[in-house]
Amino acid sequence: MILQHNYPLKPHNTFALDVFAEQFVSISSEEELREVFRSEQGARPVFVLGGGSNVLFTQNVQGLVCKIALTGIRIVRETAETLDVECAAGEGWDDVVRTAVQQNWGGIENLSLIPGSIGAAPVQNIGAYGVELKDVLVSVQGMMRDTGEMRTLTQEECKFGYRDSIFKRDLRNKFVITSVMMRLRKNPTANNLHTSYGAIREELTKLFPETPHESYTVHHVSEAVRSIRRSKLPDPAVLGNAGSFFKNPEVSRNVYERLHAEHPAMPVFVLDSGKVKIPAAWLIEQTGWKGRKDGDAGMHAQQALVLVNYGNATGQDLVRLSERVRADVFAKFALQLETEVNIV
């Protein structure tokens, strides 16, 4: 375990913000992790970092940045139909998706091409194209920062919600995820696939015109999702961003009816809970922020929900711009946008 000082974080955050960590360490074993938090008892704050695809650094980080580099994937249990696969927190999320797709294991193909690590995936219960991590997650293992004790949380104990979990609430800054166990389906049939959400079906037909629907596999769905995402979302390697910056607001029926009367063209999704979800991208577009910039900070031209660093914006510039967007949405719709990205 090598402790580095004044360490550049630019390669470690997808906004490409040019900030430094006072101290930085990359840990690749549970023992090293325990050692880090033993020293935390002393004084310095510790920030746990995965792939840096959901953080916005507003300044240099005081204290220690601890990069989770635990690796390993293993099958823990197997039945005729399912596999329980345990993945260490430092594995890349999309690397695991690729492995699953190659092996024809079903369940996470709709979550293809989401950046970041396995360990951060439960933090905001990653989701895309009608599937969330919670749908396949069996348990999360990790370490209590104060005692070094290892704990396993069941799916229920993780208290998952839309881009939400116990790790953002009661266990925030108290627990480090070291591995995640998922239950995947062996040899899924076309009936097990989720193809009705968004433009997936259309994309499948476009990419695989010769393949009958009943012959689709996880490979086809994964390729369709990758293709849609590549066409819609800016690649962080080219343009600094952290995906969706705001959550889609979920409102009560009453609020929806007020908004619908004022804005009949507003697109909505009615949720099982009876609440109504409104696409934040549409709200932002209505305020004229889609594709608008202030210096090097701006909202993406194709995807209004994505806040972009066009070059040399600072974290402060990005936060300021996001606050202007939020204020304009509030002025027009009386709705508060909630931030999805972690501002540090």
Ligand X SMILES: Cc1cc2nc3c(=O)[nH]c(=O)nc-3n(C[C@H](O)[C@H](O)[C@H](O)COP(=O)(O)OP(=O)(O)OC[C@H]3O[C@@H](n4cnc5c(N)ncnc54)[C@H](O)[C@@H]3O)c2cc1C
In the complex, what is the shortest distance from the CB of residue 128 to ligand X, in angstroms, rounded to a whole number? Answer: 4
CB under 8 A, 24+ apart: contacts of 228-233: 228/129, 228/198, 228/199, 228/200, 228/203, 229/112, 229/113, 229/128, 230/113, 232/302, 232/303, 233/303, 233/306
Instruction: Show contacts with ligand X in window 62-91 (CB under 6 A).
Output: 68, 89
Unique residue bearing structure tokens 């480090």: 176
Q: x/- string (CB under 6 A) for ligand X, residues 252-271?
A: --------------------
Integer Cα distance of 232 and 226 in angstroms: 10
3-state secondary structure of 191: helix
Give me the catalytic one of 91, 145, 163, 185.
163
Give me the catalytic one of 139, 179, 244, 322.
244
Exposure pattern of 17-33 as b/e (b: 16+ CB <10 Å)?
Answer: bbbbbebbbbbeebeeb
Q: Does 126 bind ligand X (CB under 6 A)?
A: yes
Q: Is-catalytic flag, 86? A: no
Which parts of the chain fold into alpha helices (H)? 30-40, 93-102, 200-207, 218-232, 253-262, 280-286, 315-333
Q: Is-catalytic flag, 223? A: no
Q: Which of 52, 107, 188, 249 binds ligand X (CB under 6 A)?
A: 52
Which parts of 140-217 fold into alpha helices (H)? 200-207
Tell me which stretch binds ligand X (CB under 6 A): 45-53, 75-83, 151-159, 179-187: 45-53
How big is the site for ligand X, counted in residues (CB under 6 A)? 32
Q: Does 46 bind ligand X (CB under 6 A)?
A: no
In the complex, what is the shortest distance from the CB of residue 284 to ligand X, in angstroms, rounded to a whole number? Answer: 16
Q: Is-catalytic flag, 324? A: no
Closer by beta carbon to ligand X, 226 or else 333: 226
Q: Does 240 bind ligand X (CB under 6 A)?
A: no
Cβ–Cβ < 8 Å for 152, 122 = no
Sign of CA dihedral 123, 326, 240, 282: positive
303-to-4, 67, 280, 281, 288 alpha-carbon distances in Å: 37, 30, 11, 7, 13
Closer by beta carbon to ligand X, 106 or else 115: 115
Q: Does 200 bind ligand X (CB under 6 A)?
A: no
Tell me which stretch binds ligand X (CB under 6 A): 47-55, 98-106, 262-270, 276-284: 47-55
Tell me which stretch binds ligand X (CB under 6 A): 76-84, 94-102, 208-216, 234-242: 234-242
Residues marked active site are found at 163, 244, 340
Residues that bind ligand X (CB under 6 A): 14, 48-55, 68, 89, 114-117, 119-121, 123-124, 126-128, 167, 176-177, 233, 236, 241-243, 342
